[in-house]
Amino acid sequence: MARELLGKVLLYDGPEGRRAARLVEVEAYHGTRDPASHAFRGPTPRTSVMFGRPGHAYVYLSHGVWYCMNVVAHEPGVAGAVLLRGADPLEGFADGLRLSGPGLLGRAFGLSTADSGVDLTRSALQLRDAPAVRPRLIARGPRVGIAESMTAAKPWRFWVRGASGVSR
């Protein structure tokens, strides 16, 4: 479940330094059954990662400017991924920097398509477990930036109530 990523820590520990942030907003994309997913039309060179093993990163370039990161997560044999939309800074970021939005988050971590496909348990870029967020603190709603017909009946965006890293 996408909501289980909330509270986990995204960590970059490599040549550029060490940066960490706590995930507070995510969105689920269900692959070939979900018209809003990049995986909807089957695997391509860009999206094949989403048909591979869970726990890897899928990074794509949005609007020619922003690198957005997903965590591959799905049942065996079915594509799927969770878009990381917002986080609260923990370590390594300039004071006052906001990570509220998938593009801003990607830029803050210095991501690029070179990061697409990396194993998040073995790379400089990692996802660390953290205590689960209390269910009462989790809100859900329609996904952002896609046709309303694809999100109205699928409220697959989850965020931590009141967190400053939530987008919009």
Which residues form the interface with DNA (CB under 7 A)? 27, 29, 36-39, 41-42, 44-47, 50, 58, 60-66, 68, 70, 81, 83, 101-105, 113, 144-146, 167
Whether residue 86 contacts residue 166, with contact meaning beta carbons closer than 8 Å, is answered with yes
Min dist CB 72 to DNA, Å, is 10
Cα separation, 27 vs 13, whole angstroms:
25
Min dist CB 136 to DNA, Å, is 26
**DSSP characters for 15-41?**
TTEEEEEEEEEEEEE-GGG-TTSTTTT
CA 37 from chain center: how many Å? 13
Cα separation, 91 vs 53, whole angstroms:
29
Nearer Cβ to DNA (93/136): 93
Q: How far apart are the first and last CA of the chain?
A: 23
Q: Which amino acid is at 54?
A: P
Nearer Cβ to DNA (44/164): 44
Nearer Cβ to DNA (13/98): 98
Min dist CB 101 to DNA, Å, is 2
Nearer Cβ to DNA (32/123): 32
